[in-house]
């Protein structure tokens, strides 16, 4: 049974006789608990917890149906793709990121009960962050969190650290297991499409939509770029940046193939709005585009609306999936730690390569949630 709380606010309105009457609000406890907003999803829900330099990071996934085959190898691969220390172009913090399942799985399948998973933090260097307790770092959220909560864990940025995304990747892996169970034709791939001024052309992105083995090309690149020539250029750029204390931003392109037509709700839970919310909740993001994106706003309608299957729509109409390839691009600002801060610490010269796994995870969580919501659309 849903818990309720009655809130009274005094002197909000007068009755017809001029007497002041207190106004009561009936609010669900889940709404009160959402004030700190550590949860994402409507039916398939993930709750993220843990601090960067605390004992562990973790997630609780609720709403995953029972009977879904739990793939440990898939979970560990997902964590490996996000893990720091995996190559010389990312942060050198060397975490093994081994997942430990605490509940919700039995004899290799989900139980339909909350799935709790933790990953222990092993390679913290908390003393490296002593100075920021009183001197917030430029470009980071140290001062904002201090202002909001007063008492904060400053080590490594606490929950504002990019390490929080580990929880999302775990939930994304579980979402992928569920998607496979429901519809094995759905394929979701995210890759680096630009770093600084080094970028794939629109023609190349369009070609990758139809290319088989795209995921293998992405995984074979240190910087998660499927084009070999561009991948090598980006790798050289980031190695130089890491040495010089420089940083770069860039873009992640996400494509989802095989989505059923009509996925998403028509008003406040559009597929595009839920995806955008998930993408923009990731640290360092500063823009999202679907299909032609902002460029489409410069085209005349007769050119934009040539036919209902136009790639300019990005696989979306009315905010819902059309059954065509869904294409999204997520922009990331340059990593905040630069110059001496970057040289002394363990930071990514560009967050985009590791962020590909996080953007993919948020897409998988959203799609899994929408697939479950779709079951309620028709009797």
- Structural domains of the chain, count: 2
Contacts for 247 with CB less than 8 Å, ≥ 6 apart: 241, 334, 335, 336, 337, 338, 342, 347, 348, 349, 350
- In DSSP terms, 20 is beta-bridged to 14
State the pLDDT at residue 157.
64
Q: Give the residues of the chain that fall short of pLDDT 70.
A: 1-36, 85, 92-95, 123-130, 132-134, 139, 154, 156-158, 339-346
Q: What is the CATH number of the domain that holds 78?
A: 3.60.150.10
Q: Same domain, yes or no, for 31 and 131?
A: no
Query: Is there a single domain that holds both residue 197 and residue 97?
Result: yes
pLDDT at residue 210 in the model: 79
Residues 121 and 6 in one domain: no
Q: Find the domain containing 24 and state its range.
A: 1-36
Distance CA 57, CA 352 (A): 21
What is the reported pLDDT for 347? 74
Q: Is residue 287 in some structural domain?
A: yes
**Within this chain, do residues 29 and 71 fall inside the same structural domain, yes or no?**
no
Whether residue 279 lies inside any domain: the answer is: yes
pLDDT single digits (tens) 43-78: 999 999 998 888 899 999 999 999 999 999 999 999
| Same domain? 3 vs 55 | no
Quick one: 119 and 157 in the same domain?
yes
The answer to whether residue 196 sits within a structural domain is yes
Q: Is 167 inside any structural domain?
A: yes
Whether 155 and 8 map to the same domain: the answer is: no
Could you tell me if 67 and 173 lie in one domain? yes
- Same domain, yes or no: 139 and 79: yes
Contact between 82 and 354 under an 8 Å Cβ cutoff? The reply is yes
Check residue 135 and give its pLDDT. 75
CB atoms closer than 10 angstroms to residue 216: 9
Does one domain contain both 2 and 109?
no
Task: Look at the chain and count its residues.
Answer: 379
Query: In terms of domains, do 28 and 76 share one?
Result: no
Q: Are residues 28 and 149 in the same domain?
A: no
The verdict on residue 379 lying in a domain is no
In a domain, 146, yes or no: yes
């Amino acid at each position: 049974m849903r818990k309720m709380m009655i809130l009274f606010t005094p002197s909000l309105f007068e009755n017809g006789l001029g007497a002041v009457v207190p106004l009561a609000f009936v609010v669900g406890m889940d709404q009160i608990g959402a004030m700190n907003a550590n949860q994402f999803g409507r039916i398939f829900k993930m709750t993220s917890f843990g601090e960067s330099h605390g004992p562990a990071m973790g997630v609780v996934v609720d709403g995953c149906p029972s009977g879904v085959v739990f793939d440990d190898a898939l979970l560990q691969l997902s964590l490996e793709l996000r893990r720091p220390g995996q190559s010389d172009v990312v942060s050198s913090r060397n975490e093994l990121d081994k997942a430990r399942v605490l509940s919700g799985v039995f004899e290799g399948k989900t139980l339909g009960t909350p799935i709790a998973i933790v990953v222990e933090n092993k390679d913290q260097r908390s003393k490296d962050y002593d100075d920021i307790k009183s001197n917030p770092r430029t470009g980071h959220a140290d001062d904002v969190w201090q202002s909001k909560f007063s008492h904060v864990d400053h080590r490594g940025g606490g929950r504002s650290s990019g390490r929080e995304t580990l929880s999302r990747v775990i939930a994304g892996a579980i979402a992928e297991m569920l998607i496979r169970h429901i519809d094995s034709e759905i394929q979701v791939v995210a890759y680096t499409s630009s770093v600084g001024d080094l970028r794939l052309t629109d023609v190349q992105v369009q070609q990758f939509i139809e290319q088989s083995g795209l995921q293998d090309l992405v995984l074979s690149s240190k910087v998660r770029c499927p084009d070999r020539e561009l991948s090598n250029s980006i790798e050289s750029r980031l190695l130089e940046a890491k040495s010089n204390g420089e940083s770069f931003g860039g873009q992640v392109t996400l494509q989802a193939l095989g989505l059923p037509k009509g996925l998403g709700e028509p008003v406040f839970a559009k597929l595009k709005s839920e995806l955008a919310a998930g993408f923009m909740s990731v640290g360092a993001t500063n823009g999202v585009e679907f299909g032609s994106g902002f460029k489409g706003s410069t085209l005349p309608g007769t050119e934009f609306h040539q036919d209902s299957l136009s790639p300019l729509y990005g696989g979306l109409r009315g905010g819902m999936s059309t059954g065509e390839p869904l294409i999204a691009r997520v922009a990331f600002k340059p990593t905040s730690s630069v110059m001496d801060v970057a040289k002394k610490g363990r930071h990514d010269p560009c967050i985009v390569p590791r962020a590909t796994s996080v953007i993919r995870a948020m897409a998988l969580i959203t799609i899994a949630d929408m697939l479950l919501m779709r079951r309620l659309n028709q009797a």
